[in-house]
Amino acid sequence: MTGKKPMKRDKQVFEELALPLLDSMFRTALRVLRNEKSAEDLVQDALLKAFKNFHQFETGTNFKAWIFTILMNAFRNQYRKAQLEPKSIDVETVSMFYAAHGDDMFSTVDRGNVNFTSLLSDEVKRELETLPPEFREVVILSMVEDFTYQEISDMLSIPMGTVMSRLFRGRQLLKQRLADYAQSMGYIKRNSAV
Amino acid sequence: MNDCHEIKKHLYVFLDDELSVTENVGVLHHLEHCKLCFSLFEQEKQFGHSVKKNAMDQTLPAGMLQRMTSALEQADSSSSPVIATAHSTSGWGRRIAMPLFSLAAAILLILGTSMILGILETNKQPTRSVSAGELAHALSADFNVHLQGNKPLQACSDLGAVTSWLNDVSASDRYITRVCVPNLCKRGYQVEGASYSPLIDEYNTTMTSFTLNGKNVAFFCFNVGDIDFDEEHMTRIAGRDVLWKKQNGATVVLWGRGKCSHSIVSTVPDDELLATVEMILKMKY
């Protein structure tokens, strides 16, 4: 199968599978790159790589997970190495997050009176984009694109425990920031009593 | 799982539908009885929905779709077709190759016509022998939605197999697969040939197709909002938002209508499920 080029009939099948995913590919690329032009270039790069290797896609498996793996690989290979991304914090230090925080792990962001439904799209996007890159990737792939932990683990080549800890910490950071924003804007529930 | 600390530890994993069936039931049970944890669950759920809704609000740049299709067109034309580049035929070779090619084309034409006629015949007289995967494809065409990935799954007439199956399922909304199918199995219904099919549409629809005591069934589950399901041909079951219709030789059940995702109400429709299933089994088609 190695080196097999896509046949004519494959292009139509590929387009039927891939083009409906352009929206989610682009928004993911945009969130991790924070630049529209770069995001479009990344999507095109991933799209062409996926097309070239379409014969390797196993029918019956999750196409979205497959093409997102290519997208995230393209991002890592081209953009991370070019150091377009700011240096992130050592997220591995949060791998023991659950154990370290115990019962208090939700306390820092337990803002029961915050009305998150009033959040504005731009603010959510801005806060997503300013998360540390490793957190940002897993948060977007899980919370926005609905990939499973296993799929994200395969996609990013990191252990599933790391996916979970990054996702946990990323969520907490995002929630804290958005809660601060929501409170500053006065998005408070009228009846916050439990 | 009665301890609040344990629940908090599992809350995100629960929200992400990554818990096992047993753990899932444990969390649901606790949330039903603990107001504090339920409040936290509601807050996290609202936060998650808000992030997703706002983050998904993103349009493609003008002309991007055209640029992508052009790039694919260019890539396709620059890569030589497999058949055309297999050999450079000339002289006698070409004279032999062309009749062979014509013969092969004729055979393909006959086979293709037979297949089309077969499909038409199948549509005219639906049978119950189609696989769950075939059913998923047929229904996705009927409802004009695209299969994102049709995952054929093992038969699951016992809970152990169901648990294994659920761990293999991937998508955000697994209400049907997490709750309904295990409940059916636990109650002795024969659920076999299950096929989980995430669909691509603006409603984040999911569909699970399987055979229920030998009858083809497909459950649609919707994350948000309403959808234009032709209600004239459907009937409400148990006075709730469960609608069904006969389609392509199967009973298609529309479930939830906006209340089936990551929701505490997951435990409520058990009676609806059983009422639905009993009605399906009584139907003659």
What is the model's pLDDT at position A49?
92
Confidence of residue B231 (pLDDT cuts 50, 70, 90): very low
Confidence of residue B225 (pLDDT cuts 50, 70, 90): very low
Tens-digit pLDDT profile for residues B257-276: 333 332 222 333 455 556 66
A83 CA: distance to closest CA in chain B (Å): 25
Check if the beta carbon of residue A66 is closer than 8 Å to that of residue B149: no
Mean predicted lDDT score pLDDT of chain A? 76
A184 CA: distance to closest CA in chain B (Å): 17
Of A148-162, B66-80, B148-162, give the lowest mean pLDDT range.
B148-162
Which range, A119-123, A190-194, B78-82, is most confident? A119-123
What is the model's pLDDT at position B8?
83
Q: How far apart are the C-alpha atoms of B124 and A174, rounded to whole Å?
A: 54
Tens-digit pLDDT profile for residues B160-199: 444 444 444 433 335 555 556 666 666 677 766 666 665 5
Strands (DSSP E) found in B176-223: 191-200, 206-212, 215-221
Is the Cβ of A131 closer than 8 Å to some Cβ of chain B? no
Within 13 Å of residue A124, how many CA atoms lie on the same side as its CB? 24
Residue partners of B191: CB distance under 8 A and separation at least 6: B156, B157, B162, B181, B184, B185, B210, B211, B212
Strands B250-255 and B215-221, by their bridges, are parallel
Tens-digit pLDDT profile for residues A146-163: 898 888 998 888 898 899
Residue with more model confidence, B114 or A179 = A179
- Interface subset of A 164-183, CB within 8 angstroms of B: 164, 167-168, 171, 174-175, 178
A56 CA: distance to closest CA in chain B (Å): 15
Of A31-35, A169-173, B69-73, B271-275, give the lowest mean pLDDT range.
B271-275
A79 CA: distance to closest CA in chain B (Å): 20
Q: What percent of chain B has pLDDT over 90?
A: 3
Structure tokens at B175: 């209400």
What is the model's pLDDT at position A41?
92
Residue partners of A82: CB distance under 8 A and separation at least 6: none
- In chain A, what residues touch B16 (CB-CB under 8 Å)? 142, 148-149, 167
**Best residue in A64, A104, A122, A152 to probe B by mutation, most B CBs within 10 Å?**
A64
| Cβ-count burial A42-51 (b if 16+ within 10 Å, e if not) | bbbbbbbbbb
Which residue is closest to A66 within chain B, CA to CA?
A: B149
- Interface subset of A 96-115, CB within 8 angstroms of B: 98, 102-103, 105-106, 110-112, 114
Is the Cβ of A92 closer than 8 Å to some Cβ of chain B? no
Contact A6 B58 (CB under 8 A): no
> Using CA of residue B75, residue B76, residue B82, residue B83, what is the dihedral sign?
negative
Contact B148 A121 (CB under 8 A): no
Tens-digit pLDDT profile for residues A20-51: 999 999 999 999 888 899 899 999 999 999 99
Which candidate from A11, A51, A116 shows the least CB-CB separation from B50? A116
Mean predicted lDDT score pLDDT of chain B? 58
CA A93, distance to chain mean position in Å, is 20
Q: How far apart are the C-alpha atoms of B71 and B187, rounded to whole Å?
A: 53
Is the Cβ of A13 closer than 8 Å to some Cβ of chain B? no
A29 CA: distance to closest CA in chain B (Å): 11
Which residue is closest to A19 within chain B, CA to CA?
A: B65
DSSP-assigned beta bridge partners for residue B243: B236, B254
Which candidate from B49, B65, B170 shows the least CB-CB separation from A22? B65
Q: Which of B138, B178, B152 is nearest to B13 (CA)?
A: B178
Confidence of residue A12 (pLDDT cuts 50, 70, 90): confident
What is the model's pLDDT at position B197?
62
- In chain B, what residues touch A63 (CB-CB under 8 Å)? 148-149
Residue B238, sorted as left (phi over 0), alpha (psi -120 to 50) or beta, turns out to be left
- In chain B, what residues touch A16 (CB-CB under 8 Å)? 146
Which candidate from A47, A63, A175 shows the least CB-CB separation from B148? A63
What is the model's pLDDT at position A46?
94
Q: How far apart are the C-alpha atoms of B171 and B184, rounded to whole Å?
A: 21
What is the model's pLDDT at position B245?
57
Q: How far apart are the C-alpha atoms of A112 and A106, rounded to whole Å?
A: 11
Contact B50 A63 (CB under 8 A): no
User: Does pLDDT of B126 surpass 60?
Assistant: no
What is the model's pLDDT at position B98?
35
Check if the beta carbon of residue B48 is closer than 8 Å to that of residue B16: no
User: Does pLDDT of A128 surpass 70?
Assistant: yes
Q: How far apart are the C-alpha atoms of B109 and A2, rounded to whole Å?
A: 30
pTM of this structure: 0.53
Three-state helix/strand/coil letters over chain A? CCCCCCCHHHHHHHHHHHHHHHHHHHHHHHHHHCCHHHHHHHHHHHHHHHHHCHHHCCCCCCHHHHHHHHHHHHHHHHHHCCCCCCCCCCHHHHCCHHHHHHHHHHHHHCCCCECHHHCCHHHHHHHHHCCCHHHHHHHHHHHHCCCCHHHHHHHHCCCHHHHHHHHHHHHHHHHHHHHHHHHHCCCECCCCCC
Check if the beta carbon of residue B195 is closer than 8 Å to that of residue B133: yes
Coil, helix or strand for B195?
Answer: strand
- In chain B, what residues touch A40 (CB-CB under 8 Å)? 61, 64, 67
Across residues A15-19, what is the average pLDDT? Answer: 90
Of A17-31, A157-171, B25-39, B40-54, give the lowest mean pLDDT range.
B25-39
Which range, B7-16, B75-84, B123-132, B144-153, is most confident? B7-16
